[in-house]
Amino acid sequence: MTTAHSAEIQLARRLSANPVPADERRRLLAEPGFGRVFTDHMVMVEWQSDRGWHDGRLLPYGPIALDPATAVLQYAQQVFEGLKAYRQVNGAIVAFRPEANAARFNRSAARMAMPAFPEAAFVHAIDALVGQDHEWVPEAAGHSLYLRPYMIATEKGLAGGQPSSSYLFVLIASPAGPYVSGGQSRSVSVWLEPELTRASPGGTGEAKTAGNYAAALAGQLRAHEHGCDQVAWLDAGEHRLVEEMGIMNLFFVYGTGVEARLVTPRLSGTLLPGVTRDTLLTIARDLGMRADEAPISVDEWQAGCESGQISEVFACGTAAVVTAVGTVRSATGSWKVGDGTPGPVTTQLRDHLTAIHYGNLPDPHGWIHKIADSVAVPYWGCIR
Ligand SMILES: *Cc1c(COP(=O)(O)O)cnc(C)c1O
């Protein structure tokens, strides 16, 4: 199900009559937390089987009215993305690799039998919203504007068993402080979940879809019951191979310095292919480290930490960027990674990536997308 037409989606613009006052916005931006505060506007675009994408608009942020029998509320046909916009040191507002998120959005949509959203329109929607709500892009170090594009099935009816004939694309934005409380100096403890699984071969683990998150909550609760911060997911077949930590990808560091070698679990079809994961593989190689995608087992993790071969383990994702893993607990034992605190390779990679985000380092791979000035976006004139 794709729509070849409507590569450019017209966005009408209706501005909020009562945006958050400037002093209140400054107060909210001082300590935004994560995903609690939203900007003044949002973008919506409709899809119908007979019309493709249409009726795109930027409008005031607010509730969406849905019939109680709407497909997404019954059968969870939904996909989403998460990416960030940053205010760089030279004042430019940029988004990080939005094209990569647009491409993944459509891979997720295909798996969930949903129509593709044109990648150019995905990036234009981001330009439009961030351009309009640019005053919501925080200035403080480590802060950013988190962007949440998503698509939901909007057909009314309980029949199920077939894809919806209509969809809604939505983009909202939320100023974000550093994700992990206590900052980046802290490392987390992880629970190796022996029974529950996040994803299985042929399933939806590769897709960024809401149902994966709902299915993962019980595992996260089990991690807490075992005194751990986060759950680590193992393969569904044997519970032997390491897949992900919570909603982040994992990296294992063998050795140190320029001799360091990174290993991240290969994309087996049950892992979410993180943009941060892909970015860090590239940065590590740029820094002269070896970085491999390979299977890694729980036994190798434990033995590697006990022998000292594995010096660091960290998790990565857009929201928290890079988080060190300090302690591991399983049904049969527990062990420390290194001395339990964030190690030098973890810190170096995190600092390098955030320096690119904020424009303190050059961007040799073209990852930085400068937000177009909203008045310069050509197809915006039509106000309704
Ligand atoms: C989004 C997500 C990640 C991280 O992906 P990024 O593109 O790096 O933010 C990792 N695992 C899961 C399950 C996710 O949903």
How far is it between the farthest Cα atoms of the chain?
66
pLDDT in tens, 258-312: 789 999 999 999 999 999 999 999 999 999 999 999 999 999 999 999 999 999 9
DSSP class of residue 156? B
Give the N- to C-terminal CA distance of the chain in Å, as an integer.
31
pLDDT class of 15 with cuts at 50, 70, 90: very high
Residue 377 has pLDDT above 60, yes or no: no
Is the CB of residue 263 less than 8 Å from the CB of residue 252? Answer: yes
How many helices (H) and strands (E) the chain has is answered by 8, 18
pLDDT computed for residue 184 by the predictor: 58
18-61 tens-digit pLDDT: 999 999 999 999 999 999 999 999 999 999 999 999 999 999 99
Quote the pLDDT of residue 256: 85
pTM across the whole model: 0.94
> Ligand 1 test: best mutation among 81, 249, 354, most atoms within 8 Å of CB?
249
| pLDDT at position 289 | 95
Rg (CA), the chain: 21
Determine the distance separating the centroid of ligand 1 and the alpha carbon of 247, expressed in angstroms.
6
- In terms of pLDDT, which residue wins out, 184 or 294? 294
Return the structure tokens found at 226.
Answer: 């075992």
CA of 197 to the centre of ligand 1 (A): 16
Q: Tell me, what's the pLDDT at 181?
A: 52
* Buried b / exposed e along 305-325 (16+ C-beta atoms within 10 A): beeeebbbbbbbbbbbbbbbb
Ligand 1 atom at minimum distance from 279 CA: 8
Q: What is the pLDDT of residue 8?
A: 62
Category of 321 on φ-ψ map: left (φ > 0), alpha (ψ -120 to 50) or beta = left
CA 369 to ligand 1 centroid distance, Å:
20
The contacts of residue 22 (CB under 8 Å, 6+ apart) are 135
pLDDT for position 1: 37
Give the dihedral of Cα atoms 350, 356, 359, 360; nearest 10 deg: 50
**Residue bearing the CA closest to ligand 1, atom 6:** 274
Q: Is the CB of 296 under 6 A from ligand 1?
A: no
Q: What is the H or E stretch that residue 108 is in?
A: helix 98-111
272: CA distance to ligand 1 center in Å? 6
The pLDDT score that the predictor gives to residue 374 is 56
Rounded to an integer, the average pLDDT of 235-260 is 95
Using the predicted structure, report yes or no on whether residue 324 has a pLDDT greater than 70.
Answer: yes
Q: Which two tokens stand for residue 85?
A: 């916009």
Ligand 1 centroid to Cα of residue 81, in Å, is 9
- Nearest-angstrom CA–CA distance, 168 and 107: 17
Residue 23 CA to ligand 1 center (angstroms) comes to 34
pLDDT number for residue 219: 98
Which comes out higher in pLDDT, residue 335 or 185? Answer: 335
Measured on CA atoms in the order 103, 105, 111, 113, is the torsion positive or negative? Answer: negative
How much is the mean pLDDT over the chain? 93
Give one word for 300, left, alpha or beta, with left for phi > 0 and alpha for psi -120 to 50. alpha
171 by Cβ neighbours in 10 Å (0-12 / 13-18 / 19+) ranks as buried
| pLDDT > 80? residue 2 | no
Give the ligand 1 atom nearest the CA of 248. Answer: 10
> φ, ψ for residue 6 (rounded to 5)?
55, 50
Strand partners, 168: 46, 152
